[in-house]
Structure 1
Amino acid sequence: MYHIRRYADHTCRLPPKGSESCLAKQSPLSGYLERLQRISRKFILLDKQHPLVKYYCRSGAAVIQERKRHVFNFPWFVIHPLSKFSFYVDIISAIFWSFCFIADPFLAAFWSGIDRFVVLDVITSLVNAALLLLCFTRYIIGFFVVKTKEIVLNPKSIAYSYLTKYFFVDFVGSFTFRPFLIIFNPECDEIYYNLMYVIRLVKLARVYSCYKRSKLISLYFNVSERVHIVSFLALLTLLLLHWLTCFLFIYSKIAYYLMGYIMESILNHFKISDNYSLTPWYQRYVRGVHLISTQLCGSRGNVDESYQASEQLYLSFITIFGQIYYIVCFVLIYLTFKSRASTDTCYEEFLLGVHEFMKSKKLPPQLKQRVCVYYENRFQRKYFREASLISLLSEHLQHEVWLHSCQRLIDQVQFFKVLPKTVVGIILAHLKQEVYLPHDVILKADAPYVNMYFISWGTVAVYTKEQSEVDHLVDGMHFGMPPINRLRLSSANYTYVAVEVTECFRWDKEGYNKCFMIYNEIADILDKIHLKIIADFQEKEDAQKKLRTHNILSDLQQGKIIETGKKRSKYFPEK
């Protein structure tokens, strides 16, 4: 799998319009504290390298717009969910949760007041203290609404969402009660320490959150969805085996504290709890794992009548749970590998065919990477036969589906807002989707006008015939002209080159003719818009020429262009 690179190394020749971070420019006389404050402020703003940026901000202009929304509309302490800080918090939280998923049940099962697990207990307490600190950062880190792809940065909404979801689990599961037990009751019974470890087990409710963080890691390293799902299910199976084994020993402790030593217990039958303080913990743990694993697979058979009723119920629950869990895992793996209805699977199969084709043609690595980038942005990892699916719908439904898919383009393009809705619908029905990679020439100077282009997302640089950069066009802007125009313009005056991966909708001659038959005024509107755009480009080009001339004169005056000869010494002239 090739590394997908969305942003090209574009050397912009235009004067900077402001800071890329959208923060106020810093004075050269700023102190260390102000510089540190600015660096920390950048650390909590949206980061272009975040793995989820391509799902919420597909272009550089959208990234800048989201940064402006964050900087100017919300308090300074709010942290963007696509920032570096949020990414590191998610990764650290996933690592700490994974450690606690193993350590907390183990301590709850095997802690007996002996100093053999003191080191593990101290490490677990430190990890839980760190998770408790990260718990309070959740009040200022924004979150996503997956269905609408909305990024929520309102502090009240963030606090309310976290309080109603995971605050109780994080706070109670990470709170350390040991210092209070040592201070207020140094000689307390062992049962209180065991109860402390049992309370921490509420943290197991964060398993799904850990899965989402692991998906973030897989996206960062460009791991396929199949490998991620199979790996997570394998690790989850091992964790379930560990948890059920520890719960068995936790039950034995509860039964011992409530009823004392029970001769008929299953723990005694399998020599798990006999001589509890003398048998090594690892021997008891291995025997417990063997018992639970055989019960999960259903290979032990009927439960012995000599066991306690509660133990029979627990083992029966494990057997039923194991069968359901295996069925769910089988279905998930089947849907991942074999289901043809899965668009993700179809895309991966299609991409494998593309790789085989490029391998047979012996394409160079750089060209292979560009092909992969194209298909990545063209299909968005979801491959289906769009033409055949749309053709089965009625004409009215086809029009409604296309209008809904182009809603973002309608909201952004100012040209559509001055036209009647019927005309906009006709234009949209004749648009052709195109994806351009960085450095692709979309329209070249002196090339005949054939199409008009509307930028859905991305950035396009405008160059003169002398290869001088004039301007950048971003989301919602348009360029080019239909082949039929009243200005008698037959060729383009500027060259348009994609700066990053850019999606454009192309409007050709056929679509223009149908619109012109219904709405004749569209020709006048297009002419006025095109004249305004050309005048704007010409004004910026003249301003840049004046700026370059001024720079040359100032460089001449300062002696930066003409090299100064070797000066003769005043007292020792050269011979």
Structure 2
Amino acid sequence: MPPNPNVHYCELKRDTFGLPKLPPNAPWHQKFARSIRKCLTLNPNSTTSKRFFRNRSTMIGEQKRHLKGATFIIHPFSTFNRIRQVIFVILWTLEMLLTPVYISFIHISQSHHVHNQHNEDAFLASVTGNYFISSIYRHIISPLEVVVVLLFFITGYINIKTKEIVIDPKQIVKRYLATYFITDFLMIIKFGIYVQHSVYLYLLNLACLFRGITLFEYLKDIILSFKVKEEVYDCIRLFLISMILLNGLNCMFYYLPWMLGHLSFPKHSWPYRSHITPNDKDFTVGKAYVDSMVVVMSYFVGAGDLSAKTYLNDVLQKAMLTFIMICGRLWTLYVIASILKLFSVVTISESKYEEYLLQLEVYMTQKRIPKALRARLLEYYRS
């Protein structure tokens, strides 16, 4: 159907960010500053903003309130904050997985070759045999972690009790110092220190595990912003926690015999009998990690016995395998309960529908409604 010639259809793009428009001949630095300010303020087109605010008028009012405040404050519903959350999830997930690996596998390999590796990048170079990953960690990942931590001092937050968006700089700093500042500081204290003895600083890096709640909150917001069902997030969360748990148990299973053996593997220890110690000719960190993971995963999920790699007189190994089996059974029960809960949530609407139909049939029977009318009412509610 052709458009009405008597009606004007505006094709101009509507700016909903509440910022003053610049003239066409404005210099580039003013346009750049406006773009940055636009990224820092509330984005009314984001999915999270539409879920939090009732209508667009309240979004505009929140925009005006934010624009009147400090120019450097990041709004929690801004585009910039969404990017910050994505970077936080990626970096902290990597740290939760890589930190135990460095403390155990890489540190043991490095200690064995300490006389041949005096370079400050040796602890990461031992993974791949080159310094490419080490360079990425030093010049990209580690500085990004410091920047992300500093951004918490200027990022607004939502007061869960009052549902109020706090953008006051003093309240933001006070809240961050009272909550996660010490945890984040312990994690980034290793910045710029990459030497053989930095493994002891990496023990402090395990403080990143206390950020698990924040990580999964950000991950949930990111996934739901793509209009994905919450059940998908629950599955991703269970998978990610399983990987972190298995990785931690694997590193513990390999590291404890070396540590309790006075920084060497005893002959009765399982890594020595499995030929995955640094003394073996074909030893690599990857091979040792995979072989150890096979044993841990088998006992964790109860998929195998692997009695060939067990030694009855090795009390430490039996204690560790018992602990791994207990953790595996408890986690398996939790996953099963979570999956059953997901199915119950998915089918709850159908269950309610059937319950209402049953109540209708009982009501019509008690009131002795004619069969023809009963059939018409049931057909009406089922259609």
User: Aligned residue for 2:250?
Assistant: 245
* CA positional deviation for 1:316: 2.7
User: Pick from 81, 86, 89: which aligns with 1:91?
Assistant: 86
Paired residues for 1:174-193 under 5 Å: 174-177=188-191, 179-180=192-193, 190=196, 192-193=197-198
User: Aligned residue for 2:134?
Assistant: 121
User: Aligned residue for 1:31?
Assistant: 27
Larger radius of gyration: 1
Q: Which runs of 5+ in 2 are unaligned?
A: 1-7, 111-121, 360-383
* CA positional deviation for 1:35: 2.8
Q: Contact conserved, 1:46 with 1:67, CA < 8 A, in 2?
A: yes
Q: Which runs of 5+ in 1 are unaligned?
A: 1-9, 183-189, 354-383, 389-575
User: Aligned residue for 1:412?
Assistant: none
Paired residues for 1:345-364 under 5 Å: 346=348
User: Pick from 256, 266, 272: which aligns with 2:270?
Assistant: 266
User: Aligned residue for 1:295?
Assistant: 299
Q: Contact conserved, 1:104 with 1:197, CA < 8 A, in 2?
A: yes
Distance 1:101 1:122 in 2: 20
Secondary structure of the corresponding residue to residue 151 of structure 1: strand
Does 2:347 match 1:307?
no
* CA positional deviation for 1:218: 1.9
Letter in structure 2 aligned against 1:120: I
Paired residues for 1:273-422 under 5 Å: 273=277, 275=279, 278-298=282-302, 300=305, 305-309=312-316, 311-338=317-344, 342=345, 346=348
Q: Contact conserved, 1:132 with 1:175, CA < 8 A, in 2?
A: no
Secondary structure of the corresponding residue to residue 168 of structure 1: helix
User: Pick from 38, 43, 52: which aligns with 1:56?
Assistant: 52
Deviations 1:26-83 (A, max 9, x none): 46674333332222111111001222112321211011011112122x3121110000
Q: Contact conserved, 1:96 with 1:131, CA < 8 A, in 2?
A: yes
* CA positional deviation for 1:100: 2.8
More strand by share: 1
Distance 1:335 1:170 in 2: 34
Q: Contact conserved, 2:220 with 2:233, CA < 8 A, in 1?
A: yes
Q: Taking structure 1 as the reference length, what is the TM-score of the superposition?
A: 0.50
User: Cα gap change, 1:69/1:151 in structure 2, threshold over 3 Å: closer, same or farther?
Assistant: same
Deviations 1:390-419 (A, max 9, x none): xxxxxxxxxxxxxxxxxxxxxxxxxxxxxx
Q: Contact conserved, 2:17 with 2:43, CA < 8 A, in 1?
A: no
Does 2:145 match 1:139?
no
* CA positional deviation for 1:292: 0.9
Say how many residue pairs are matched: 325
User: Cα gap change, 1:156/1:346 in structure 2, threshold over 3 Å: closer, same or farther?
Assistant: farther
User: Aligned residue for 1:558?
Assistant: none
Does 2:172 match 1:158?
yes
Secondary structure of the corresponding residue to residue 158 of structure 2: strand
Tell me whether 318-327 or 58-67 shows the greater mean CA deviation: 318-327
More helix by share: 2
Distance 1:37 1:157 in 2: 26
User: Aligned residue for 2:217?
Assistant: 212
* CA positional deviation for 1:210: 2.5
Please provide the CA RMSD for this pair: 3.4
* CA positional deviation for 1:233: 1.2
* CA positional deviation for 1:305: 4.5
Does 2:199 match 1:194?
yes
Q: Contact conserved, 1:44 with 1:86, CA < 8 A, in 2?
A: yes
User: Cα gap change, 1:261/1:249 in structure 2, threshold over 3 Å: closer, same or farther?
Assistant: closer
Q: Contact conserved, 2:186 with 2:207, CA < 8 A, in 1?
A: yes
Q: Taking structure 2 as the reference length, what is the TM-score of the superposition?
A: 0.73
Secondary structure of the corresponding residue to residue 279 of structure 2: coil
Q: Contact conserved, 1:264 with 1:308, CA < 8 A, in 2?
A: no
Q: Contact conserved, 1:50 with 1:87, CA < 8 A, in 2?
A: no
Letter in structure 2 aligned against 1:124: Y
Distance 1:133 1:290 in 2: 37
User: Cα gap change, 1:203/1:121 in structure 2, threshold over 3 Å: closer, same or farther?
Assistant: farther
Distance 1:277 1:159 in 2: 53
User: Cα gap change, 1:86/1:268 in structure 2, threshold over 3 Å: closer, same or farther?
Assistant: same
